[in-house]
Structure 1
Amino acid sequence: MKAVAKRYEVKPKEKKIYYQTFRGHIYDCLKVLKCYFEQNHKVIISFCRKWGIQPEDLMRSLFISVYLHDIGKLTNQFQKRIQENKRSQKYPHPFFGFPVAFEIFRTKIPSVYPVGGYPIEPLAVLSHHTQLHNTIYRDAEIRRIIPQKQEMLGFINDIQKAYASLEFAKFFEFTWSNCEKLAAVNLLEKEGAPGKILNLIRTYKSDKLENTSLDEMVTIKSLYTFFISIVKLCDFYSSAHFSDFCTQNLPEQQVLESVMENPQQYVLTIPGLSSDEILKGNSPYLFQSKMQEEATPYSFLFAPCGRGKTEAALLWALEICRKFSKNKIIFAMPTQTTSNALLDRFKKILDKAGCNGKDLVGLYHGKSFIKLKEDIRKEKEETDELDQDDIEEIKSEKFKGNIFFKPITVTTVDHLILSFLHGFPQADFACGNLQGAVIVFDEIHYYELQTLKHLVDLFVVLQKMGIPHLLMSGTLPEFIKNRLRREKDSQETYSEVHDDEGLSFTPFKIESFHVPLIEKGEVNNEVLQEIQENYSKNLNQFIILNTVRRAQQFYEAVTKNVDTDSVHLIHSQFTYSDRTVKEIELIETLREKKKRPLIVVSTQVIEISLDISCDVMYTELAPIDSLGQRAGRLNRQGTSWKVDDHKFLMRIFLPENNLPYNEDILEKTEKTLQDGIYSYQSLKGICDAVYGQEYLEEFERNGTLEGAYCLLKFGGKPSLFEECFLFGPKYNRIAFSEEEGNRFVIRTGSYRKFDVVPELYYGYDEKKLSVENQAKVPYWWICLDERIHGPEELQWFEHVERHFTWKKKLYWICRLPYCKNYGFDSSVLEKENENIGMENIL
């Protein structure tokens, strides 16, 4: 049998085994590469211009690297084991291909960008299966191999034939002089070869790199990740295509050559959407036209809720892609719920424009596979269960979102930040795709200080990499703008666009009451009576509390006198599945069924996650920017606080305590905020008065960060970006997941939380331990259980293990009563905790 690169089993009625020849796989990879060059030629030219590289040189290096990336498979051990269907982890082909690529780029072909004097291209061969890190392959049990010397040299010397037959001459000139031998090929069969290859890898981590400047690190990171992302694109999707080809065609022959006929399906391009299609036929607001006509690569957009910021951002992104030759659009959202909603919104826009939104818009966040699963279920008949093909499709869609594969991807800022920091296994793949992207950050004011600090650092890196980005906000505090203006490493200033018309509207009136909405479980009776009167007037009302427990207590009080079908409770302690269903039902009730009257009792989750509106709002005092977000759910898209006889009122009450907010900011908000009629422009003024001009800079001078690293250097903490611009810590040393940091922490919170499965849903069925059935609850709950009952005699929690093929995982079960309309009943905890104060554990 010829040397093979791929093995795939198809199991229709009887098992069929297919192989793809080594040469066939490489040619399929090169077909994807050629298509990438054709579709993204302007992108490559723009990228190379940024770094002072000739596009022909970069394309030549990519061609050679893709051609050589699997050369380590031409060994006796790999060929024997692939035919026996055995893994080759003791004979890793990227490891053994690395010295071959190193010698060729060191002696035969000049490197497009040497790193510390060594060619950058061999690193793409080394890392096309395992992301670069400090100990890559060092702890692996690698054994000596026997190279198939003649096959290796013969294949290498046939590179000119591949160049000619696949017509790469239209992209770059290339002439190969045959070599009769390579020292690296001879090295592979020698005793001690693995150790010598490890030493060769260490040369890239020499003292020369330790004194590298930040600007040089950014250059290396950008070039390397762009390079590896294209190599991995060619390798991954040619392999996936071979599997699909075998499954769909069941060919008679067992050993196949090149099977790639339509590489365009793996090199997608941004759809050409018109302004009319994006705005659904409506005339653009002045600020929307300005965003498109005056599009600059680094911009602020200040516009209130409900005015079409997202559409303006999409117009800007498409124009920037056209002007600056970019090939991807990324929307970075503050929450998973907003990410899910935006995915649906973009898919509808594209579908109406005659494009296939599902093919062109991707999604990624910590629980995106649940959303993807729900969408596939909707496409099937209600009685159909998901089959194996559906599961594979979900995995594929999740992977595509993870690496920003599609022309448009909606994600969270957490995932975006980790893409630049080796924060997950495919981070370099994702970071490489971002080199040709434009990025939109929504609700930039919404993040707490630690996250803002990381974001400011990220904006510096984005500017240095030449990645255009837009920062959007409904309040746009001056302290954020000032901090970016004063950033010594920023290379360009940010332009600003304001929705002056929308900012001048006065959609609500604020009335403050210096009494609590609820105190020690007792709800304000006057407010309750008023809510009942408003209900009888057919008004929609939102009541927003600062804690889950107070929201639950208020919900209980309201439902004693109002039909429970008209009262919705929204907070963060529902299971992911229950909360998703509740939010979808609420949006459908308000926006599609237009049901009245309606009462929504919520926590601050309503501030960002739900695009809904009410007639009257009751809220506990919160920081001014949070109040601004809540106000965006009152008379949304309205222009005046008074319409006919109805007044749109935001009634603010004192909270029982300051948690989860900063007490000083609450006090400043209370003192600064006066009763009266408000526009979003006037709310911004109060926001600036509360936070001051240097709020973030004061934090940088005097504050502390959780975690061992900052993105860039801060307060004695090392820069994670500088440590992992090429190698660095392994991904799981940086973050356990998008939602849980390890040595790098993106978000902090007043409460430490952990995931539990309600006992009601568990029922001692391992399958019910899935993420859909998990909810986040305060860490102090289990601390209280341990303190009262002891760690071995827990009454409210138990832990169970689920065993998988290659690992076991620990899950926490919560025995507290739970229902999908209320969440957990934690009243027993509150009573036991009265004299202990465990809720202050962070």
Structure 2
Amino acid sequence: MKEDKCNNILAKPSGITLGQHRSDVVSEVSDICQIFIGTCEKYKKLTGKDLAMRLSVSAKWHDNGKACPKWQEACRKDFQSYQLWKHNHPTCSFKEYSSEKRNEAGYNLRTVGIRHEFYSLKEAVVTNMPIPILAAIAAHHGKLGLAFEDKWTSCPSFKQFWNEFRKTSNDISEKESLALVCDKLLEFDTIRGLLQFADHRASAKEDKEPVPGLNCFNYRFPFENKRGIQKLVEDNWNNDILLVRAPTGAGKTDASLLWASRQIAVHKADRLVIAMPTRFTANALSVNVAATLSDTGLYHSSAWYSKYSKVQNGELDMKEALAQQKMANLLATPITVCTIDHLLMSLTFTQESHHLICSNLANSCVVIDEADFYDDFTLANIIFLLKVLHNWKVPVMIMSASLPESALQLYIKAGFNIESILEDKESDSYNKCFNIKKLIEYDDIQDINYLLKYCIERGNAIIYLNTVDKAIKVYKEIKALVLGSGKDIPIILYHSRFTEKDKQRKENMLLDNLGRKAWNNGTAKGIAILTQIGEISINISSELMISEICPIDRLMQRAGRLCRFDNSVGEMYALIPYKDNTLYPAPYGSYSQNEKSWIPCKALLSTIDILKAGIYSAQDLVNILNKVYSEEAVFSIKAQTNVQALEQMLINNWLMNPVEKWNDDDTHSNSWRSRDIGPQGLVFVIKPACTHFYNYSEYMEFVLSYSISLPVYLLDKGRKEHRIDSDCKITIGSNDPIFINVIRDGFYTFDIGVDLTNNEEDNFL
């Protein structure tokens, strides 16, 4: 029998009844608990409570406040408005009604001045419900935060709840105990996050929106035999943490999947999270893992285009793509590849979604892949992340080709018990050699002109430059030399100042010309000019490499692209850049505003001092690595102060969201940064065809297709030199107009990217 919505309590102006919605959320909660078995077991061990029971109770009570007569009256008025519209549009949904009648749809609920979750609390409190459930009900629309204090305190009956939440928060925060806060976070956030997750999934299904399925991690080793490092990892899977050092090509990715499958099989985790140092490396690994496991999420600020570019050619519906992206953001996919920044940012609790991200992170096993060791600022952040993961009893594996022995003591300080770094010294990869023919000091490109001609003569080469502008200058020089030679050699420049669409095309060109298939077919030809973006993320190879000097752990990654697909001896020329007769170390150091010059980091100076011409194996490089990083890392005052700010944010914000909000694309708050870089801004390579975007999602599609992130000082430079205009006004939904940066014609091309070269060489990646 069809439900009579006029006589039932409504949950939404679309006509969904409260009984139906409650049933839908309870059903989602049940499905979640059946899939997230490890989460339920960890919760039981931590609290002694049944998570499924607590979630079910929160689901049954979370919207009971909608029965409040005043709220119901407003909802019914909105439902009646929808019904009148639907009479003339019988096949259309409430979503379509909302799109056409943006101001009318839901107007009465928006103006009635009632927060239904407050009334839900008032109903629930008489049952002596535990405070973690009350907090979940209070927060399920993101209003449990200091920015909404006036809404809570305006009514005495709701103020008592606010005071209780503040007292609970302060009682824990004031103890300044990271372990205690981590425990309380799990007890509260597992319910808080999963209730919201279930509620959002139920609502999306009710609105006929795409909802990705909840799937279990499922991996089968695809090869007949396991390699050395894979056997070592599997044999030691039960350790709380594994440190794994293995050269390029040793099979680290499948080793991590084998390790994760063991953790998940015994319910120590429900999913695998792989954290990469940059979004570019995350893109590449996601594609690699997805070849074995299709249900792999990718999340970072530009991931949408890299992972879901099928939307552009109509193979995938945009709504489905955005729904999958949201799952990856929340770490709710069986495998999520993301940046380290994304995990660090979730510890600030400056967004409501951070509570669910942290709950899912706490019930994951985590692989940190190829973290930089020379960068003490980022490393200090990672050590704090590891302390939190240790408190949450999260299995961790750190794997890299460049992991020094001194890392042992550093990671022990995070609380883990570690005896040694796992390493397969019998691997063939450790016998592989390459020849550093010469170390060359140079100040001007003309100083190395003969090497560029040699690259053209050889027909294939990879050239690494440490700054974008130097890479652009070398590209222009080589293009001119090739043109003069009359030879047909592809020259491919790749750095971070391309749109996501063009990055994808660049990567495809690199693979077509210098990838494994090209070498196997005997068709490999071309010169790739790369910045740090190409150290890990691109699976290409050459017989000849020219590389500006960098810390040994970065140089090891670059050398891994020499004769990558065979056992030949590759040839390298190492360049030591100078500027005005002084070593120019950017970006491997710090810039002194007082001196107006760069101060090289210790690892770079040690690498220059130790590295000599000669033939090297991977093991030789490991020996140099251990010399360069022979001492345990000592964090700078800046790095220590920054980490202390992150810890304080976690301790202060664990229950009550702060007033400060954080955009997804940012890497810093007012007091903390994930990386020691300056503020960034967007520049667009074209003006939008229409300057009004219906909603934020429509705007983000434009952003992901046509924008590039640049340091703010470079944007200022571009404006001063009349290469960037800032007078293009757009609107997003009903928000106030904003102005966007648009690069002028001629200063962005597919060959070069954004070209702001003018004696400026402090731009990286």
Paired residue for 1:183?
Answer: none
- Give the CA deviation at 1:729: 2.0
Give the aligned residue type for 1:126. A
Paired residue for 1:499?
Answer: 424
After superposition, the Cα gap between the structure-2 partners of 1:683 and 1:809, relative to the gap in structure 1 and judged at 3 Å, is farther
Q: Please state whether the residue corresponding to 1:770 is helix, strand or coil.
A: helix
Q: Please state whether the residue corresponding to 2:391 is helix, strand or coil.
A: helix
After superposition, the Cα gap between the structure-2 partners of 1:484 and 1:477, relative to the gap in structure 1 and judged at 3 Å, is same
Would you say 1:583 and 2:507 are equivalent positions? Answer: yes
Kindly indicate whether the alpha-carbon contact (under 8 Å) linking 2:280 and 2:537 is maintained by their aligned counterparts in 1. yes
Q: Please state whether the residue corresponding to 2:266 is helix, strand or coil.
A: helix
Rounded to whole Å, the distance in 2 between the matches of 1:287 and 1:340 is 24
Would you say 1:670 and 2:681 are equivalent positions? Answer: no
Would you say 1:775 and 2:697 are equivalent positions? Answer: no
Q: Which runs of 5+ in 2 are unaligned?
A: 1-5, 79-104, 579-583, 590-599, 694-698
Per-residue CA deviation, residues 323-345 of structure 1 (Å, 9 max, x unaligned), is: 34421111111222222222222
Give the aligned residue type for 2:749. C
Rounded to whole Å, the distance in 2 between the matches of 1:132 and 1:685 is 53
Paired residue for 1:509?
Answer: 435
- Give the CA deviation at 1:72: 1.4
Paired residue for 2:474?
Answer: 554
Q: How does 1:38-437 map to 2 (within 5 A)?
A: 38-41=34-37, 43-49=39-45, 51-55=46-50, 58-83=51-76, 84=78, 85-86=105-106, 88-89=109-110, 90-106=113-129, 111=130, 119-130=131-142, 132-133=144-145, 135-140=146-151, 192-207=156-171, 209-211=173-175, 213-244=177-208, 266-271=213-218, 273-275=219-221, 277=222, 281-296=223-238, 297-350=240-293, 357=294, 360-378=295-313, 380=315, 390-437=317-364
Give the aligned residue type for 1:61. R
Rounded to whole Å, the distance in 2 between the matches of 1:126 and 1:323 is 34
Of 469-478 and 34-43, the range deviating more from structure 2: 34-43
Rounded to whole Å, the distance in 2 between the matches of 1:54 and 1:204 is 19
After superposition, the Cα gap between the structure-2 partners of 1:209 and 1:504, relative to the gap in structure 1 and judged at 3 Å, is closer
Q: How does 1:541-620 map to 2 (within 5 A)?
A: 541-562=461-482, 566-591=490-515, 592-594=517-519, 595-620=523-548
Q: Please state whether the residue corresponding to 2:541 is helix, strand or coil.
A: coil
Q: How does 1:531-542 map to 2 (within 5 A)?
A: 531-535=455-459, 540-542=460-462
After superposition, the Cα gap between the structure-2 partners of 1:743 and 1:210, relative to the gap in structure 1 and judged at 3 Å, is same
Of 560-569 and 363-372, the range deviating more from structure 2: 560-569
- Give the CA deviation at 1:621: 1.2
Kindly indicate whether the alpha-carbon contact (under 8 Å) linking 1:218 and 1:461 is maintained by their aligned counterparts in 2. yes
- Give the CA deviation at 1:612: 1.5
Rounded to whole Å, the distance in 2 between the matches of 1:593 and 1:840 is 32
After superposition, the Cα gap between the structure-2 partners of 1:705 and 1:54, relative to the gap in structure 1 and judged at 3 Å, is closer
Per-residue CA deviation, residues 690-731 of structure 1 (Å, 9 max, x unaligned), is: 233222xx225x44468695333xxxxxx2221222224246
After superposition, the Cα gap between the structure-2 partners of 1:739 and 1:486, relative to the gap in structure 1 and judged at 3 Å, is closer
Rounded to whole Å, the distance in 2 between the matches of 1:447 and 1:101 is 53
- Give the CA deviation at 1:453: 0.6
Per-residue CA deviation, residues 726-762 of structure 1 (Å, 9 max, x unaligned), is: 2242462x5663445443210113x66432123xx23
Would you say 1:819 and 2:720 are equivalent positions? Answer: no
Rounded to whole Å, the distance in 2 between the matches of 1:840 and 1:440 is 29
Per-residue CA deviation, residues 663-698 of structure 1 (Å, 9 max, x unaligned), is: 243322111112222222221221232233222xx2
Would you say 1:729 and 2:658 are equivalent positions? Answer: yes
- Give the CA deviation at 1:456: 0.3
Give the aligned residue type for 2:292. I
- Give the CA deviation at 1:597: 1.9
After superposition, the Cα gap between the structure-2 partners of 1:810 and 1:347, relative to the gap in structure 1 and judged at 3 Å, is same
- Give the CA deviation at 1:840: 10
Aligned length: 693
Give the aligned residue type for 1:675. A
Of 222-231 and 312-321, the range deviating more from structure 2: 222-231
After superposition, the Cα gap between the structure-2 partners of 1:739 and 1:207, relative to the gap in structure 1 and judged at 3 Å, is closer
Per-residue CA deviation, residues 239-277 of structure 1 (Å, 9 max, x unaligned), is: 112122xx89xxxxxxxxxxxxxx9x7432122x222x2
Rounded to whole Å, the distance in 2 between the matches of 1:521 and 1:142 is 67
Paired residue for 2:574?
Answer: 652
Per-residue CA deviation, residues 11-48 of structure 1 (Å, 9 max, x unaligned), is: xxxxxxx5221111111221222233334445422442
Equivalent in 796, 809, 821 of residue 738 of structure 2: 809
After superposition, the Cα gap between the structure-2 partners of 1:240 and 1:798, relative to the gap in structure 1 and judged at 3 Å, is closer
Rounded to whole Å, the distance in 2 between the matches of 1:635 and 1:407 is 35
Rounded to whole Å, the distance in 2 between the matches of 1:679 and 1:73 is 69
Per-residue CA deviation, residues 386-414 of structure 1 (Å, 9 max, x unaligned), is: 8xxx2322221121111112211111111
Per-residue CA deviation, residues 513-559 of structure 1 (Å, 9 max, x unaligned), is: 3332xx44535232123122212xxxx21011111122112111212
- Give the CA deviation at 1:511: 2.6
